[in-house]
Structure formats: C-alpha cells, structure tokens
C-alpha cells in the first residue's frame, strides 16, 4: 500500500513542480496549470466569448488530451465508449465552469493558489469539500449517470482530433483566431514547453487516475486516501517549487492575490458548486479531460459543457475578476445550485423507480403462486 501512496505523491509532485515552472516561464501567477482557466482561454481564442484579456489557445489542454490518448493507446486502454446521460453531463459541466469562474480557477488552481499563500483558496477549499459532501449525499441515495456502453470509433476519436485541430490553429494562427494582447491571456510559457508539460501530465494522469474530486470524495465516503495523497503531493511540491522558482511572487494573505478576489461567500459558493457538480459527474475538469483522451465521449460532452459555460460566463458577465463577483455571477451560481438540486432529485427518483420495478419483476413470479 505504501508503494502506491508514494506513486500518487510523486505524480502530484511532478504536477506541482511543472505548474511552478510554467509560471516561471510565462504563465500567469498561480495559473501554471488551470483546467477551467485554460478551457476559458480556448473558448476566447475561438471567439466564443470576446473578453479580450482571456483569449489564447492554451497548448496544455491539447497536451492533456493527446498525452492521455497516447498512453491509453500504448497500454491498450483506449476504448470508445459513452452514452450515459450526456445532456445532464453537459449541464453539470456548464455549471461547474460557472462555479469555477466565480471562484477564479478550477480545483487544481485552487490547490496551486493555496500553495502560493492565497488564503482565499482556503475558503474555496472548504466550499469545494462542502459541495462534495452534498454530492455524496446524492450518491448515497442512488445517484448515478448510468453505465457507458461501447460506441463507434469515430466517437472516441473526436476529442483527440479536436485537440490536434486546436494545435493546428495555434500554429497557423489564422485571422479568425483571437490572441490576447494584454492580461492573463497574453501571459504564456513557450508553446513547446506548455505542450510538453501537457503531454507529460496527460500521460501520467491516464496511468494514475488522479482526480481532485475523487480525492475528497473517497476520503469522505469510503475513508480511502489514495487520491488525496496525490493532491497533497501537488500542494507540497507546488509550494516548494514556488519558493524556489517564483519566490518574489509568494505572498501569504487574502488581499491583493493575483487573479483572485476576497468575497469569501462567493469563493465558498463558487467552489461548492464546482464540488457538487464534479462529484455528480464522477470527476473534476482535469479528470474529464484525461477521460476524453482515452475515448470516453461522455467526458467529451462534459468538456463541451465546460467550454459553453466559459463562453456564457464571459458573454453574460458572470465571471469574477480581481474586482470581485458581478451580480450576474452571483445569480448564475444560485441558479446553478437550483438546477443541480433538481437534476439530483430527478435522477434519484428515477433510479429508485427503476429498482422497485426490477425487484417487483423478480419477485413477481413467486407471489403468483401464493
């Protein structure tokens, strides 16, 4: 068992160090790796939203997908599969992104922010755990998005091909693609370095299945700390990496943190929304990206939901900024909770009806004779 823990800490540690290095070489501070932010930047780069400061076709994301794809192919684990309640996945992915952009970062960036002294991320962490606890209550009552089934090859190859397309657009840089000239979108590590980091992380995570939501969920639900060790590895090594490579950017406190705000309630609620949606989806945005690379088209639909969520978040003025959370963003988070609650109750009711139906069918034969 000890050996596995070492492996998880090592995986997390490499991600933490890569994140610190990407910041050193140009990515925005505390955003060495951020899955939500990078999908948001890609949505901007494709012109799906027009927030001029967050538009860039981040090569890390195609890296995650293709790294996972390559590793899954090499190990014979690539399987085209899907068909497990895709529309609900899209909606959950959408609101996961809304929650993340109100907090300003996905769960991975939350850990990286914490590792750079940003205590607002601690509030986010408590919110994330609270959201996961709510999600677990739904799981206990029977919530499931069903079992995926084998699908045509074209379905599983969609995301890897899309990843290649994004890389192609990044390199060709046609006029219809947007690149930020200022702001976080203009801050970037060299393209090949970002891509290489993405490929490495993608390949590693395909092997280890590390998932930020899974880490907390398993710790709370079944007292299993396998994935949590990986998260601890990310935190410890990102902290060490930041102190070594980005010492001048390290700052302990709430105020004046990079790409962050101090509205505690909304840091809490934003991450709580991300937590509950991630648990219901069976994985955080990072995990969904890895799964999409290994042929899971349900995860691919979730990613489309994330991208749509990011586009709406900026088009409708929902996303937070260093100035705080706009009113629209607050309303969107509340709508998100209502929608998630309705989905949760609806699925649980459906599952319970199904199980009563199959039971009465099984027992039906016996009762006739009585």
How many residues make up the chain in this entry? 370
Name the minimum Å distance from CB 299 to another protein: 10
Segment interacting with another protein (CB under 8 A) among 57-65, 173-181, 209-217, 315-323: 209-217
Residue 224 as a binder of another protein (CB under 8 A): the answer is: yes
Residue 211 or 313 with smaller CB distance to another protein: 211
Residue 214 as a binder of another protein (CB under 8 A): the answer is: yes
Residues between 17 and 76 that touch another protein (CB under 8 A) = none
DSSP 248: G
Segment interacting with another protein (CB under 8 A) among 39-47, 124-132, 141-149, 163-171: 141-149
52 φψ region: left (φ > 0), alpha (ψ -120 to 50), beta (else): alpha
Name the minimum Å distance from CB 339 to another protein: 21
Residue 147 or 175 with smaller CB distance to another protein: 147
Query: Closest Cα partner for 112 from 37, 59, 60, 186?
Result: 37
197-247-12-89 Cα dihedral, nearest 10 degrees: -70
Residue 206 as a binder of another protein (CB under 8 A): the answer is: yes
271-273-275-281 Cα dihedral, nearest 10 degrees: -140
Residue 206 or 267 with smaller CB distance to another protein: 206
* Number of helical H runs and strand E runs in the chain: 14, 2
Name the minimum Å distance from CB 204 to another protein: 12
Neighbouring CB atoms inside 10 A of 89's CB total 26
Residue 216 as a binder of another protein (CB under 8 A): the answer is: no
d(C-alpha 280, C-alpha 208), whole Å: 21
By CB under 8 A, the count of residues binding another protein is 39
Strand partners of residue 84: none
- Return residues touching another protein (CB under 8 A): 2-7, 9-10, 77, 139-144, 146-147, 206-209, 211, 213-214, 218, 221-222, 224, 226-227, 282-283, 287, 291, 294, 351, 355, 359, 362
């Amino acid at each position: 068992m000890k050996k596995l823990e070492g492996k998880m800490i090592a995986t997390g540690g490499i991600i933490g160090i890569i994140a610190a290095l990407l910041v050193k070489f140009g990515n925005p501070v505390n955003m060495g790796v951020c899955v939500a932010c990078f999908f948001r930047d890609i949505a901007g780069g494709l012109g799906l939203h027009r927030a001029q400061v967050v538009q860039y076709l981040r090569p890390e994301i195609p890296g995650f997908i293709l790294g996972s794809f390559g590793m899954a192919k090499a190990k014979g684990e690539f399987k085209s599969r899907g068909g497990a309640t895709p529309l609900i996945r899209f909606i959950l992915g959408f609101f996961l992104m809304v929650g993340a952009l109100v907090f300003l970062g996905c769960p991975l960036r939350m850990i990286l922010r914490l590792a750079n002294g940003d205590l607002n991320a601690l509030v986010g962490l408590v919110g994330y755990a609270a959201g996961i606890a709510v999600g677990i209550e739904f799981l206990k009552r029977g919530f499931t998005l069903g079992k995926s089934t084998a699908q045509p090859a074209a379905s599983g190859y969609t995301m890897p091909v899309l990843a290649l397309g994004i890389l192609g657009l990044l390199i060709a840089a046609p006029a219809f693609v947007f690149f930020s000239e200022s702001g976080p979108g203009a801050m970037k590590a060299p393209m090949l370095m970002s891509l290489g980091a993405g490929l490495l992380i993608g390949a590693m995570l395909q092997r280890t299945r590390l998932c930020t939501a899974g880490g907390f969920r398993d710790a709370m639900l079944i007292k299993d700390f396998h994935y949590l060790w990986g998260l601890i590895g990310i935190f410890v090594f990102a902290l060490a990496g930041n102190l070594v490579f980005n010492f001048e950017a390290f700052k302990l406190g709430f105020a004046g943190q990079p790409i962050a705000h101090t509205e505690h309630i909304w840091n809490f609620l934003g991450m709580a929304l991300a937590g509950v949606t991630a648990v219901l989806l069976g994985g955080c945005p990072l995990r969904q990206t890895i799964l999409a690379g290994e042929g899971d088209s349900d995860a691919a639909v979730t990613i489309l939901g994330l991208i749509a969520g990011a586009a709406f978040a900026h088009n409708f003025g929902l996303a937070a900024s260093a100035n705080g959370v706009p009113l629209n963003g607050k309303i969107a988070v509340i709508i998100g909770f209502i929608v998630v609650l309705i989905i949760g109750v609806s699925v649980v009711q459906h599952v319970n009806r199904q199980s009563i139906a199959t039971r009465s069918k099984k027992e039906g034969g016996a009762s006739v004779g009585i």
